[in-house]
Structure 1
Amino acid sequence: METNDVVYVVDDDLAILDSLKWLLESNGYIVICHHSAENFLKFLENTDQSTPSCALIDVKMKGMSGLDLQEKLIDNGFNFPVSFITGYADIPMVSKAFRHGAIDFIQKPINEYALFELINRMLTKSYGMKKELMEITRIKEKLETLTRREKDVVRHIISGKLNKEIAEVMGIEVKTVEAHRANLMDKLQVNRPTTLLLLLLRLEQAKVTAIE
């Protein structure tokens, strides 16, 4: 297997790092290891985030714990799948990790089959996340081409107003509303109001401001 995907491994046990690096690299993965959460966060500051990636993180580490690292990754906008390596896992720990989006836990000693299945699952998810991010960026770029008037019309369409109602609120002719509507639908490459609503809903779910 050959891949350009990156697997991050964060563990303060150097023997575990060496073992996982050898195992994963021998199966075609690019592996980048870090012996502390702090070191990993510093490394990510200057890293290209467009490459599909995932992280295996030890729960118990000196300094910042794996769970605290997970929260820092979220706070700093590093959006890639995370799973945890652990010698044991209690319910509160697992619950907290899953609430913050962890994919899974893998226990020591690590089973190779379970490891590869987990890595493949995380990278598949990472590909989906990158694809969605590209689509969201594409939608935002289209919205930025709208004029201020067209954006106003979009807001009224979203609220469910008809062309006549939009014209009354904006103080313009119905034909002008129709022209704005035709232009914005063409720019956004949609042909129905419902399609426009679905497009804006995707932005809302991604926590992106649709119309500024």
Structure 2
Amino acid sequence: MTDQAVIHIVDDDRAAREGLGFLLSSLGLKTRAYASAAELLEAIDDQAEGCILADVRMPGMSGLELLDELGRRGCLLPVIMITGHGDVPMAVRAMRAGAVDFFEKPVNGMTLVDRIKEALDQSRARAGTEREKVRLIRRIDSLTTREAEVARAVLRGLMNKQIAHELGISQKTVENHRHNAMEKMGATSAADLVRLLVAAGWSEG
């Protein structure tokens, strides 16, 4: 677990917030507590590593409404919902909206901790993927217009001769642009170049 990972506890019940915070802190986990969904949304870095524990029933924005808002924002943090008044439809609604789990109070502390650790591992992997994507996009931005055109043609599966015909340039020029694109992207082969472009979010279109 990284020192950067933060467990964000959202509950209007102060005793519940403090109880969860004490439990998690005693296990060496970093926590931050919020009395409302609005307070969380104002303060959170939703692209960082960590996870969110949110109560379902809160004044103002409910936990389910918070889940919807986090989805609209493209939040990368896994969300675990906790409620004292759970039912099956509510749990289904939360899971469909992106929650990774749903607990009813009173919560089994160690079961929750195990799930939180899994969520933090998931968050760390996702954050690593996003960082890699940003790095690759920066490399793509360093390509010249022609290098990018050749790279996109390679992504479409075209051979050098086909690319030359499509772009109206010589095959040797295509080879030079392809070599430069691979070098800038850090690719060792055409297949590797395709893999990196796909990882960066490029499509064949």
Query: Common fold, TM-score beyond 0.5?
Result: yes
CA distance in 2, matches of 1:26, 1:160: 54
- Which of 65, 75, 95 matches 2:92? 95
* Match in the other structure for 1:7: 7
Query: Contact 2:46–2:77 at 8 Å: present in 1 too?
Result: no
Query: Contact 1:53–1:126 at 8 Å: present in 2 too?
Result: yes
The Cα of 1:191 is off from its aligned counterpart by 2.5
CA distance in 2, matches of 1:4, 1:196: 32
CA distance in 2, matches of 1:12, 1:3: 26
Query: Contact 2:76–2:127 at 8 Å: present in 1 too?
Result: no
Q: Does 1:157 align with 2:154?
A: yes
Amino acid at match of 2:198: L
CA distance in 2, matches of 1:89, 1:48: 26
* Match in the other structure for 2:27: 27
The Cα of 1:87 is off from its aligned counterpart by 2.0
The unaligned stretches of length 5 or more in structure 1 are: none
The Cα of 1:162 is off from its aligned counterpart by 1.6
Amino acid at match of 1:162: M
* Match in the other structure for 1:65: 62
C-alpha distance 2-165 of structure 1, shift in aligned 2 (>3 A)? closer
CA distance in 1, matches of 2:43, 2:4: 19
Query: Contact 1:150–1:181 at 8 Å: present in 2 too?
Result: yes
| Coordinate RMSD, CA, aligned | 2.3
Percent identical: 38
TM-score by length of 2: 0.90
The Cα of 1:72 is off from its aligned counterpart by 0.9
The unaligned stretches of length 5 or more in structure 2 are: none
Q: Which moved more, 1:193-202 or 1:170-179?
A: 193-202
* Match in the other structure for 2:131: 134
CA distance in 2, matches of 1:49, 1:156: 32
Query: Contact 1:54–1:82 at 8 Å: present in 2 too?
Result: yes
CA distance in 1, matches of 2:161, 2:3: 56
* Match in the other structure for 1:42: 42
* SS class of match (2:193): helix
Number of aligned residues: 205
Amino acid at match of 2:11: D
The Cα of 1:151 is off from its aligned counterpart by 0.5
CA distance in 2, matches of 1:192, 1:3: 37
Point out 4+ residue stretches in structure 1 off by more than 6 angstroms.
Answer: none
Amino acid at match of 1:57: A
Amino acid at match of 1:200: L
The Cα of 1:195 is off from its aligned counterpart by 2.0
The Cα of 1:95 is off from its aligned counterpart by 2.3
CA distance in 2, matches of 1:137, 1:160: 24
* Match in the other structure for 1:195: 192
C-alpha distance 14-145 of structure 1, shift in aligned 2 (>3 A)? same
The Cα of 1:133 is off from its aligned counterpart by 1.3
TM-score by length of 1: 0.87
* Match in the other structure for 2:174: 177
Query: Contact 2:51–2:123 at 8 Å: present in 1 too?
Result: yes
The Cα of 1:100 is off from its aligned counterpart by 2.9
- Which of 78, 88, 91 matches 1:81? 78
